[in-house]
Amino acid sequence: MYKPKAVTRADIAEAVYHEVGLTRKSAADLVETLLEEVSRTLTKGETVKISGFGNFAVRQKRERIGRNPKTGEEVPITPRKVVVFRASHILKDRVDEGV
């Protein structure tokens, strides 16, 4: 069975190094700064919009009743915040076409 490879921070930094021509250290710092800014923005509850890629947003989930799969016992699931991603149509089309 084929298992797709996951892209890591190091892979992204390496791609930036090759495409942009920064040093490896500068490329890694750039990737870290970008991810830190996205995290900081989401932590404040704001939306991150990347044109042609998609939107990251924080959504509040309310309390609900879940079930323990082993025992079947009902358990309350506490309210929490989750990060959601909505891909842009451009990204969806590229994925669909396999580009």
Condensed to tens digits (0 to 9), the pLDDT of residues 47-69 reads 999 999 999 999 999 999 999 99
**Number of structural domains found in the chain:** 2
CA distance 99 to 97: 6
Residue 57 sits in the same domain as residue 29 = no
Closest CA to 42 of 82, 99, 11: 82
37 and 52 share a domain? Answer: no
Residue 1 banded pLDDT, cuts 50, 70, 90: low
CB 47 within 8 A of CB 34: no
Q: Are residues 38 and 68 in the same domain?
A: no
At 27, which CATH number? 4.10.520.10
What separation in angstroms does the CA of 65 have from each of 59, 74, 78?
18, 6, 9
The residue range of the domain holding 20 is 1-44
pLDDT at 99 over 70: no
